[in-house]
Amino acid sequence: MSVCSLNSLDSLNSFSPSVSRGTSRRPTARPTTTATSVAAQDIICAVSESRGVSSTVGLAFVNLATAEAVLCQICDSQTYVKTIIKIGVFEPSEILFMNTAKESKLRYIIQENLPDPIYTFLDRRWWSEKTGHEYVERLAFPEEVDSLKVTLGGNYFAACCFAAALKYVEVELQRSFTTHSLRIRFEPFQGSMTIDLATIVSLELIQNLQNAKSKESLFGLLNETLTPMGARLLRASILQPSTERVKLTARYNAVEDLATKEDMFVSVRQALKGFIDADKVLTAIILVPTKRTIQYVEQSVNNVIMLKTYVSAIKNIFQALGAAQSDLLLTIRELCAPEGHRSVEELIDATLNEHVAYQSKPLDLRNQRIYCVKAGVNSLLDVARQTYKEANADAMELIEKLSGRSEIMTVHE
């Protein structure tokens, strides 16, 4: 894996940010809001604005939980209604502004409508169009680089915001994405319905007004999803309903396909029950800290075990969609075809034991970490495992002796 490197210690100091609310530390947990009631996500948002009479606002959202970046550029009114709605839908945990925007009307309006995020003010040098294009060249999927560069060529403010958000992740959060691993998309304001924040709250689209934990909201009533990814997609579809005819028709056809084939519907739901949060697992693998720790190494082993579980679950989806006829379901089945993940599966199988699976209990997970790698892959690991096994056996033998002397019953799992 490649790790993004910074030029020098001096460059780090020159980009030292100032953070509002008197602290530069980011919270470990976000306050409960309409978004966090669904799934807490760590999202960094960068904002910039044109200096002319027309209000053109650039936005970039980098989701550290799902390794996804969404860029947009909005021609807004003097009240910045579209900008507020867009930021409100994503509900970022932190919003970045230029130092020169501290007293701007845009900053005041955003902070008045969205008081929960941390507001951070950075040097204007962070907003660099050239750096934004360099990040696209280095981090975007190879087949998407050219189209993204063309799109950003006509959206200066979005490119600048993208640079600021990723620079902040690297410098302040000390994390970096590996090469060609970040999902980047440009999302125009057109193509979806506009629902303002007051309407979202008053109609209880995501959260019940009387009881935040209640499922009596539109999202709660509709949420029969079986995976965290499905819940996130449902939430996004409620807050930003698509108006694109082609997309809606494809979804209707998929629903009809599932509704008229009960066996396939049941098989798909059964296959989805074995899915873990794939977005977070893949993100944990490609988003690496600049300083490696023992905890990171241990978690990396957990991530590979979870990746093995995820790859194994994909096969069941492919088989369950065998009778699919709609274009959308056929596309999903094609993406789940064994050929698409065979190389990953072969790499995992060459190192990990066949029956290894992710466990939720700490003791079980520790044992899986210790014995997941096949014997013979690493001689030092084999010796360490044998030593660990003998130490455990000696400990159990000692326990048996002591319990015999003291007449204490021992309980074995």
Q: Where are the domains of the chain?
A: 9-23+31-189, 193-241, 244-370, 378-406
Do residues 150 and 64 make contact, with C-beta atoms less than 8 angstroms apart?
no
Q: How far apart are CA 96 and CA 115, in angstroms?
A: 14
pLDDT at 407 (0 to 100): 65
Neighbours of 2 (CB within 10 A): 12
User: Nearest-CA neighbor of 133 among 170, 157, 169, 162?
Assistant: 162
The single residue listed with the structure tokens 């992710």 is 358
pLDDT at 258 (0 to 100): 95
- Which residue(s) pair with 177 in the sheet? 287
* Paired tokens of 112: 């008045």
pLDDT at 409 (0 to 100): 58
What stretches in the chain show pLDDT beneath 70? 1-40, 53, 407-413
* CATH entry, 9-23+31-189, from 2.60.40.10, 3.50.30.50, 3.30.420.110, 3.40.190.10: 3.30.420.110
pLDDT at 40 (0 to 100): 57
Do residues 281 and 306 make contact, with C-beta atoms less than 8 angstroms apart?
yes
Give the ranges where 41-141 is alpha helix by DSSP (H).
81-90, 105-113, 129-139
